[in-house]
Structure 1
Amino acid sequence: MVEKRFSNKIIVITGATRGIGLACAERFQEEGAKICTIQRGKSELFESIECDLSKEQECSYSIKKIIKKYGCIDVLINNAGMMMESSIQDTSIEDWNQTLAVNLTAPFLLSKFAMPFLITSKGCIVNIGSIEGIGANPKHAAYSASKAGLHGLTRAIAVDHGKDGVRCNAVAPGWIDTELNEDFINTMPDSEHFRRNIGSIHPLNRTGKTKEVASLVLWLASSESSFVTGQVYTIDGGRMAKISLPSP
């Protein structure tokens, strides 16, 4: 029998009840990993810890609880995120702080608290960023800022802890078929028209699947990418490579 790549490895994933996080959990489980998820709600599929990721004490408690049960952490995947529709003029300081707390500060805290154990296991971190950390959609000031910060945090962790044998990378998904993006579509004046045409902004002429992102995350966490750290991998069907032209 061929040994699976993550047999008995402890994989911690935030926000794994749906979307990219759920796809990652399923993919790692297929490869033999033990999955522990952290998010507000309870996972019905995997062991989970209910946590308000915007609170430092709860982030610390979550890592301690995992260590108490498993004794180690091999991979941390910071996936949980939130997005609000608001221009910078209309963004309240409360919404700004909440977005950064979940999208940027929580990955910082979880990485900080998990780091001693990742050093021991020579493990790695994979952060789920966004192409909006590179560009921006309208009315996404807080979201874009948080994802750009997460890309920067990725590089900083890689630089500081490469000497400890810990790697840190990020993926920057484009338009992926997730509940979060479906909620965004439903805010459009003509959501059906938007849904039919969203694929056309990509050279591949379609949107992405959560499983495709999960496959990239799994590779970045595996020994196959052992010399890769401090990188942000765009997975967007070529969207960011395409120069826009006016409609004919």
Structure 2
Amino acid sequence: MTVTYDYAGKSVLVTGGTRGIGAGIAAAFQAAGADVTICARTAPERAVSERAVSERAVSERAGSERGRPGWRFVQADVRDPEQVDRLIGGFDRLDVVVNNAGGSPHAPVDGTSPRLHARVIELNLTAPLLVSQRAYPLLAASGGAVVMIGSASGARPSPGTSAYGAAKAGLHHLARCLAAEWAPLVRVNTVVVGLAATQEASDHYGGRTDLDDQAIPAGRMATPADVAAVCLWLAAPGYVTGAEVRVDGGGEVPAWRHLV
């Protein structure tokens, strides 16, 4: 069975959409016919100048106007309210916001900078709040949707990335609050992602490549395409709001299973 979605004529914003899960989400919406805007602090191709990126965005947008889905890149740090205003101010219409920008270095609480933890919380919790808040009038006008990209780290202990886990737990709760506050005009849901196979996976998991069968009941890590498929469903018109959909392959096998 094949499930397809038609996002033709829809405008979609994916924060942190230049790599990893965000890039996979952006590609899926574009393949479904949407006009996709991605944003990040750096351009998708570091060697490409800002002018070249702008020229390519214009070219892609022109292709969209001729009936093909297009994409554009906007450089923005979504932790900065002024940059968020500039980002959202560039839209005449907005149907879907995917708050994907996030992440954290390995940062144990003891001995690390308070500013580092504050920045991690700003990126993973405050930034999605700012983007959603600024986008709300456009989303309300279109009957749109917000999809938060959460993490299993926000649903269980996250040693070594405590600020990140706490921020993601806050993000999950923020989504439920916004879903109740903005219903029925705007739906807000969360995709709770478990272990994921991205460019950063080997670093994040200590260089281990043998975790799939040992740690995940489904036998493999999630891919960007797995996450994108859920985003396409949650962003489509429907009844579901305030939900958390786990994309974690059945959870994580507890360590004691390997000790008995």
Give aligned-pair identity as a percent: 32
Change (3 A) 1:204 1:141: same
Change (3 A) 1:56 1:211: same
Secondary structure in 1 matching 2:246: strand
Q: Hey, what's the Cα distance between the residues in 2 that align with 1:90 and 1:198? A: 32
Number of the residue aligned with 2:38: 37
Number of the residue aligned with 1:173: 193
Q: Does 2:108 correspond to 1:87?
A: yes
Letter in structure 1 aligned against 2:28 = R
Shift of 1:136: 2.5
Point out 4+ residue stretches in structure 1 off by more than 6 angstroms: none
Number of the residue aligned with 1:49: 74
Letter in structure 2 aligned against 1:21 = G
Number of the residue aligned with 1:109: 130
Moved more, 92-101 or 80-89: 80-89
Q: Hey, what's the Cα distance between the residues in 1 that align with 2:161 and 2:106? A: 6
Return the match for 1:199 from 209, 213, 230: 213
Per the normalisation by structure 2, the TM-score is 0.84
Letter in structure 1 aligned against 2:84 = C
Q: Hey, what's the Cα distance between the residues in 1 that align with 2:77 and 2:95? A: 23
Q: Hey, what's the Cα distance between the residues in 2 that align with 1:4 and 1:147? A: 28
Residue pair 1:199, 1:207 contacting (<8 A) in 2 also: no
Letter in structure 2 aligned against 1:78 = N
Secondary structure in 1 matching 2:98: strand
Number of the residue aligned with 1:184: 204
The total of aligned residue pairs comes to 233
Per the normalisation by structure 1, the TM-score is 0.88
Deviations 1:37-61 (A, max 9, x none): 1111123683111012221111111
Q: Hey, what's the Cα distance between the residues in 1 that align with 2:96 and 2:256? A: 38
Q: Hey, what's the Cα distance between the residues in 1 that align with 2:114 and 2:166? A: 14
Q: RMSD of the alignment, in Å?
A: 1.8
Shift of 1:228: 0.5
Change (3 A) 1:203 1:4: closer
Shift of 1:23: 0.6
Deviations 1:158-208 (A, max 9, x none): 000003x100000011011012323213xx3xx3xx212343111112111
Q: Hey, what's the Cα distance between the residues in 1 that align with 2:258 and 2:252? A: 16
| Structure-to-structure mapping, 1:1-248, within 5 angstroms | 5-43=6-44, 46-65=71-90, 67=91, 71-163=92-184, 165-185=185-205, 188=206, 191=207, 194-223=208-237, 226-240=238-252, 244-248=256-260
Deviations 1:123-153 (A, max 9, x none): 0000000011101332111110110011011
Change (3 A) 1:126 1:87: same
Residue pair 1:203, 1:238 contacting (<8 A) in 2 also: yes
Shift of 1:89: 1.9
Residue pair 1:171, 1:233 contacting (<8 A) in 2 also: yes
Change (3 A) 1:91 1:124: same
Letter in structure 1 aligned against 2:10 = K
Letter in structure 1 aligned against 2:8 = S
Shift of 1:241: 7.3
In structure 1, the gaps of 5 or more residues are none
Deviations 1:211-243 (A, max 9, x none): 0110011100012xx110011111101124768
In structure 2, the gaps of 5 or more residues are 46-56, 58-70
Moved more, 231-240 or 152-161: 231-240
